[in-house]
């Protein structure tokens, strides 16, 4: 009755189905893990943004990688901007997530002889990308900045290629170690994403918006879809088997069509 399952076509179909089930289950767990990571990251961002501000020197130091648990912490720093070593970071989007421009990265010289990089915000790209753009002047004199502590960008954690041979004072990544090579003082690891400044200055770059830490993304829905697909494979296989069995039974029960006897020619 089910001998057709041993045919080449059905053996291949069955093996493909058996291979798809564990693959889809693993894909479902992969999406579940991405969901859990997203939820944990959102929780970390929210908690750190709500934490009281601390001096940046308490959370990082020259040559130190900012720990994940300290990213997005609100920090403060007091010093003077070193506009002579100011650079712009290429290929960054504005708050509308569409316009392409630059981040303005300015070292802040601290009173203890060290420095910290400050991302002062976003400016639109000009017509000539080979020249240093017109950048709003940083506040002169002593300034106190407040912002979000971020880890240094690398190709691995940002997905951005560190391009060489760029025009003067243009970079691809925000990286304290790279900028420390151009300064004559130690630079704290990571950087500050500016949210407030005293004094503020006039016509400053567009502040980097607060990260969206409420959206959990579609990963849980994708996980459920993969698991439903994996459950659907055996169900679909059973449906196809029953249909094949029914068609074969109907074909066997059908009456045989009598052979037509050719008409004999009659003599004139």
User: Is residue 104 classed exposed, middle or buried when 0-12, 13-18 and 19+ CB atoms within 10 A define those classes?
Assistant: buried
Dmax over CA atoms of the chain, in Å, equals 129
Residue 121 in tokens: 């915000």
CA triplet 235, 240, 241: central angle to 5 degrees? 95
Of residues 211 and 20, which shows the higher confidence score?
20
Q: Which candidate, 83, 102, 89, places its Cα nearest to that of 206?
A: 102
| pLDDT above 80 for 197 | yes
User: Model confidence at 206, in pLDDT bands (50, 70, 90)?
Assistant: very high
> CA–CA distance from 129 to each of 125, 126, 148, 250 (Å)?
7, 6, 28, 74
pLDDT computed for residue 130 by the predictor: 87
> Residue 171: which residues within 8 A CB-CB, separation 6 or more?
87, 88, 89, 90, 105, 178
Q: What are phi and psi of 191, to 5 degrees?
A: -160, 165
pLDDT band at 264 (very low <50, low <70, confident <90, very high): low
What is residue 82's predicted lDDT score, i.e. its pLDDT? 96
CA angle 69, 70, 76 (to 5 degrees): 165
Global pTM value? 0.77
Please state, in angstroms and as integers, the Cα–Cα distance from residue 23 to each residue in 15, 203, 241, following that order.
Answer: 13, 55, 22
Q: Does residue 258 have a pLDDT over 80? A: no
What is the pLDDT confidence band of residue 134, given thresholds at 50, 70 and 90?
Answer: very high
Q: Which residue has the tokens 């609100």?
A: 74
How many C-beta atoms lie closer than 10 Å to residue 237's C-beta?
17
| Beta-bridge partners for 137 | none
The string of DSSP letters for 72-116 reads T-EEEEEEEE-GGG-EEEEEEE-TTSS-EEEEEEEEEEETTS-EE
Mean pLDDT of the chain: 90
Cα-Cα-Cα-Cα dihedral sign, residues 220, 221, 225, 226 = negative
The pLDDT of residue 249 is 78
For residues 44 and 252, what is the distance between their CA atoms, to the nearest angstrom? 67
- Tell the residue number behind the tokens 């691995």, with chain if given: 156
Q: Are 99 and 171 in contact (CB under 8 A)?
A: no
pLDDT of residue 265: 54
- Hey, which residues does 80 pair with through a beta bridge? 109, 142
Helix (H) or strand (E) holding 197: strand 187-198
């Amino acid at each position: 009755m089910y001998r057709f399952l041993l045919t080449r076509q059905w053996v291949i179909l069955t093996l493909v189905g058996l291979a798809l089930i564990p693959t889809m289950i693993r894909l479902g767990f992969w999406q579940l893990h991405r969901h859990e990571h997203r939820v944990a990251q959102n929780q970390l961002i929210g908690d750190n943004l709500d934490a009281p501000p601390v001096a940046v020197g308490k959370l990082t130091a020259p040559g130190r990688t900012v720990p994940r648990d300290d990213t997005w912490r609100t920090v403060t720093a007091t010093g003077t901007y070193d506009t002579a070593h100011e650079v712009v970071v290429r290929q960054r989007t504005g708050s509308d997530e569409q316009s392409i421009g630059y981040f303005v990265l300015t070292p802040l010289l601290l009173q203890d002889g060290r420095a910290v990089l400050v991302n002062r915000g976003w400016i639109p790209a000009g017509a000539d990308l080979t020249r240093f753009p017109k950048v709003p002047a940083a506040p002169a004199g002593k300034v106190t900045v407040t912002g979000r502590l971020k880890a240094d960008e690398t190709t691995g954690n940002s997905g951005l290629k560190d391009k060489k041979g760029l025009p003067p004072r243009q970079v691809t990544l925000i990286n304290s170690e790279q900028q420390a090579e151009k300064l004559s003082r130690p630079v704290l690891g990571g950087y500050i994403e500016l949210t407030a400044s005293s004094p503020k200055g006039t016509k400053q770059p567009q502040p980097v918006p607060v990260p969206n830490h409420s959206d959990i993304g579609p990963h849980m829905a994708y996980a459920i879809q993969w698991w439903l697909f994996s459950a659907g494979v055996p169900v679909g296989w059973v449906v196809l088997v029953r249909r094949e069995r029914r068609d074969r039974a109907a074909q066997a029960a059908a009456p045989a069509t009598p052979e037509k006897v050719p008409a004999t020619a009659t003599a004139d």
